Amino acid sequence: NLQMGDQSPSHSDYSSGVDSANYFQQCKYIHEVELVNMKLQMRILETHLETKDRLLRNLEDIIDEQETRIANMEDFIQGRTAAYTPSTVMLHGISALSLDFGSLSEENLRLKDALRAGQRKERINELMEADEDYESDMTSVSGECDSARNGTGDLMSQSAIVASKARAFIDEHQISRLKRCAEELKNEKDELKRLSQDMKDAFTVCMGEVKLLLESKTVDFFKVLMERYKAEMERRRTLHNQLVELNGNIRVFYRIRPLLSTRDQAAIRIDSMDEGVVHLEHSSGRKTSRAADFVIPTKFSQNEIFEKVSPIVTSSIDGYNVCIFAYGHTGSGKTYTMEGPSDDPGINQRAILQLFEASQERGNDIEYSIKLSMIEIYNDKIRDLLSISSSTSSSLTLRRDEDGHLSIPGLECRPVTSPSDVKSLLKEGSISRVTASTDANANSSRSHVIVRVHVHAKNNVTGTTTIGRLNLVDLAGSERVSQTNATGQLLKEAQAINKSLSELGNVVFALRQGQKHVPFRNCVLTRLLEDSLQGDSKTLVLVHVSPEESHVCESISSINFAEKIGQVQMKGAAAFKRAESVRKSTRVGGKEGSSPQTTPKKTNK
Ligand code: ADP
Ligand code: MG
C-alpha cells in the first residue's frame, strides 16, 4: 500500500524538460499502483460479499428447510389432533433465526453500498489521471512553443508571402495548363469536324456511285426481264395463233339443226365414219356429199358448240380481228346459234363472257376494256341497234379515218364491265332489231346483225396496247329470190341480201385463195368487215342447214356456198394433211376426188 503523498516528487524539483518527463513517468507509476491497490480492495470486498452471499444463501436454504419442516409438522399436527399445541421452543428458534437473517441482510446491503462507493472512486481516479496527462503534455508543449515562437515569427511571415506567391504561381500554371487543354480540345474538335465532313463527303460519293451502279444494274435487269416477258407474251400469242392457223384462218363448219317436227323426214345426215362429211338426199333420189372443216353433231349442246369456237374467240383478246358468221336460209337456226334462247344462250353471250374470264385470268399486268356495239344492215343500210334515237329511216355511214381505219361515226359503243351488262345490252339490241323489222313490215331474218366487241388491252408492264375486234354476225336468210316470190319491198330486200351474201362469199373466197385484190367495196357488209377480215384475221363461217326434205334445195344452196369459200389455200398441218390425202388417193388410183359432186372434198380439217 503506497502512500501517494509521501513519495510524489515536487513539481518544482524539475527545472528541465527531461526531469519533467521523469516526473510525469513516476506519477504515472504511482497512479498505476493506486489503481492496482484499489482493484485489490475491490476484489477483497467482492470476495467478502460473495462469502456473505453464500452464507445468506445457506441461511436461506436452512430457513427454507426449517419452514418446510414446520409446514410438515403443522400438517402432521393438523392431521393428528387439534389438541396438540405448537412447540414454543421451535417457534422461538425460528424467530431467532429470522432475526439473524435480518441482520445479515442489512450487512449485505452495507457491503453493496461500499462496493458501489469503491467503484465510483475508481472511476474518478481514472478521469483525474487522464486530466493530469493532458495538462502535463500541454504544459511541456506550450513551453517548447514559446521558445520556438520567437524564432519562427519572421519565418512565418516570409513563408506566408512565399506561400501566397506559390499559390498565385500554381493558379497561373493551372490556368495556362487549362488553356492549353482547351486549345488542344478545340483543335481536336476541329479535326473531328473535318473528319466527319470528309466521311460525309466520302459517303455521299460512295452512295452516288452505288446508286448509279444499282440504277444501271436495275435498268439492265428490268430490260432483260422486260424483253423476256415480251418474248414470252409474244411466244404465247404466236403459239395460240399458230394453233388457230393450223386449223386455218378461215374455217367452215356445218350445223344441222334437229328436226322440228317428228313427222318430217331427215334428208341430210352426217357420215357415220367421218364427222367432216354430210350426205344430202334429193327428193329425186339423187345424193350429194359435201365436206367441211367440221360438221357439228346434231346432239351437240350450245356449250359444246361454243367450245369448238372458243379458240378463235380467244384470239381477239390477243389483238386479232375475228369474224364468226352464221350463214343459212331462214329457219335453219342461225339466230339460235348466235343468240340462242335465254336459258341456253348462244355464241354471242358465251364469247363475250369468255373474254371477261380470259381478261381476268391474265391478271393485273394487262388492263382490258371491253366495249360493245350492235349494228344491223338492212337493204345495205347501217342501223345502230343500241342507239335510242335509231329508227328504220336513220342510217349511219362508213368512213375511213386519217389512219386508214374504217369507222362508223355516231355508232354507240358501250363499255361492258360485267356479265349482266353483256346480257342486258344484247337483249336491248335484239329487241331493237325485232321492233325495227316489225316497223319495216319485214321478217327479222331479212337483215344482217353484227355484234361487235372491241377488246382494248393495255399491258402495264410492256406499255404496249392491242385492239382486237370480235364480230359476231347473224346473217340474213340466204333463200333464193325466185323461191320467195318477192315483189316490191321484199324483192329489194331479197336482192340486197343475195348481193351482200354473194359478195361475202367472194371476199372470203378471195381471202382464202390469197388473191391480191379482195372485193371488199362491193357491198356495205364486206366494207364494214374489211378490217376484220384481212391480214391475220380469223374467220369462221357456220353454215346452217335444215334437215327437212322440204328445205333440201336451200340446204344444197348453202352447201354450195360453203364449198365455194372452202376452195382454200391451206396452211400448216392442214396443208400437210391435205397433201398426204392427195398422195394416198393418187396411189389407190385417184378414185377419190374425181367427182366434186359426189365425193367429199376434205378441206383443211
Ligand atoms: P334463223 O335465224 O336461221 O332464221 P332460227 O334460229 O330462228 O332460224 O331457228 C328457227 C327455229 O328452229 C326456231 O324455232 C328455233 O328455236 C329452232 N331451232 C334452230 N336451231 C335449233 C337447235 N339447234 N335446236 C333446237 N331448235 C332449234
Ligand atoms: Mg334469224
Measured in angstroms, how far is the CA atom of residue 476 from the centroid of ligand 2?
7
- 170-196 burial string, b = 16+ CB within 10 Å, else e? eeeeeeeeeeeeeeeeeeeeeeeeeee
Binding site, by residue number, is 328-335
3-state secondary structure of 312: helix
Q: Examine the pLDDT at 302 and tell me if it is beyond 60.
A: yes
pLDDT digits (tens, 9 = 90+) for 200-222: 999 999 999 999 888 888 888 88
Q: What is the DSSP string of 176-225?
A: HHHHHHHHHHHHHHHHHHHHHHHHHHHHHHHHHHHHHHHHHHHHHHHHHH
Query: Could you tell me how far CA 113 lies from the centroid of its own chain?
Result: 101
* Number of Cβ within a 10 Å radius of residue 413: 14
Where would I find the beta strands (DSSP E) of 226-320?
250-256, 268-270, 277-281, 287-291, 294-296
Ligand 1 contacts CB of residue 602 (under 6 A): no
Confidence of residue 571 (pLDDT cuts 50, 70, 90): very low
Ligand 1 contacts CB of residue 538 (under 6 A): no
Measured in angstroms, how far is the CA atom of residue 259 from the centroid of ligand 1?
10
Say which range, 244-253, 413-422, 492-501, 528-537, has the weakest mean pLDDT.
Answer: 244-253
**Residues linked to residue 344 through DSSP beta bridges, in sequence order:** none
Ligand 1 contacts CB of residue 297 (under 6 A): no
Sorted by sequence, the CB contacts under 8 Å of residue 457 that are 6+ apart come out as: 317, 319, 359, 366, 367, 368, 465, 466, 467, 468
Q: Which ligand is nearest to the CA of 433?
A: 2
Average pLDDT over residues 247-260: 85
Ligand 1 contacts CB of residue 333 (under 6 A): yes
Q: Which residue has the cell 389455200?
A: 569
Q: What is the pLDDT of residue 493?
A: 82
Confidence of residue 277 (pLDDT cuts 50, 70, 90): confident
Ligand 1 contacts CB of residue 327 (under 6 A): no
pLDDT digits (tens, 9 = 90+) for 524-561: 999 999 988 888 888 999 999 999 988 888 888 898 88
Binding site for ATP, by residue number, is 328-335
For residues 374 and 493, the answer to whether their CB atoms sit within 8 Å is no
H helix intervals, 247-362: 302-317, 334-338, 347-361
- Counting every residue written for the chain, the total comes to 605
Ligand 1 contacts CB of residue 328 (under 6 A): yes
Q: What is the pLDDT of residue 74?
A: 82
Query: Could you tell me how far CA 18 lies from the centroid of its own chain?
Result: 104
Measured in angstroms, how far is the CA atom of residue 284 from the centroid of ligand 2?
29
Q: Which residue has the cell 364486206?
A: 526
Minimum-distance ligand 1 atom for the alpha carbon of 341: 16
Amino acid 299 reads: K
For residues 298 and 305, the answer to whether their CB atoms sit within 8 Å is no
Average pLDDT over residues 405-433: 89
Ligand 1 contacts CB of residue 257 (under 6 A): yes
Minimum-distance ligand 1 atom for the alpha carbon of 474: 2
Ligand 1 contacts CB of residue 249 (under 6 A): no
Please name which of 299, 374, 303, 300 lies closest in space to residue 343, comparing C-alpha atoms: 303
Tell which wins on pLDDT, 435 or 519.
Answer: 519
Q: Which ligand is nearest to the CA of 437?
A: 2
Q: What is the pLDDT of residue 391?
A: 53
| Ligand 2 ion: nearby residues, β-carbon < 5 Å | 334-335, 445
Amino acid 461 reads: V
Q: What is the pLDDT of residue 358?
A: 84
Q: What is the pLDDT of residue 172?
A: 86
Amino acid 530 reads: E
Q: Examine the pLDDT at 86 and tell me if it is beyond 70.
A: no
Measured in angstroms, how far is the CA atom of residue 551 from the centroid of ligand 2?
16
Residue from 255, 325, 336 whose mutation best tests the ligand 1 pocket (most atoms within 8 A of CB): 336
Within a 13 Å sphere around the CA of 198, how many CA atoms are in the beta-carbon half?
A: 6
Please name which of 302, 407, 299, 293 lies closest in space to residue 348, comparing C-alpha atoms: 302
Q: Are strands 321-328 and 268-270 parallel, antiparallel or unpaired?
A: unpaired
Q: CA–CA separation, 397 vs 524, rounded Å?
A: 9
pLDDT digits (tens, 9 = 90+) for 433-484: 766 554 444 555 788 999 999 999 888 878 888 899 999 999 999 887 654 4
Q: Examine the pLDDT at 59 and tell me if it is beyond 50.
A: yes
Nearest CA to ligand 1 atom 19: 333
* Number of Cβ within a 10 Å radius of residue 239: 10
Ligand 1 contacts CB of residue 321 (under 6 A): no
* Number of Cβ within a 10 Å radius of residue 266: 14
Average pLDDT over residues 88-113: 72
Measured in angstroms, how far is the CA atom of residue 338 from the centroid of ligand 2?
9
Minimum-distance ligand 1 atom for the alpha carbon of 328: 3
Q: What is the pLDDT of residue 28?
A: 86
Minimum-distance ligand 1 atom for the alpha carbon of 298: 23
Average pLDDT over residues 505-521: 89
Q: What is the pLDDT of residue 139?
A: 65
For residues 278 and 296, the answer to whether their CB atoms sit within 8 Å is no
Residue 95's alpha-carbon distances to 61, 66, 99, in angstroms, are 16, 11, 6
Residue from 253, 254, 257 whose mutation best tests the ligand 1 pocket (most atoms within 8 A of CB): 257
Nearest CA to ligand 1 atom 9: 333
Please name which of 595, 503, 501, 506 lies closest in space to residue 543, comparing C-alpha atoms: 501
Average pLDDT over residues 155-179: 80
**First CA to last CA across the chain, in angstroms?**
156
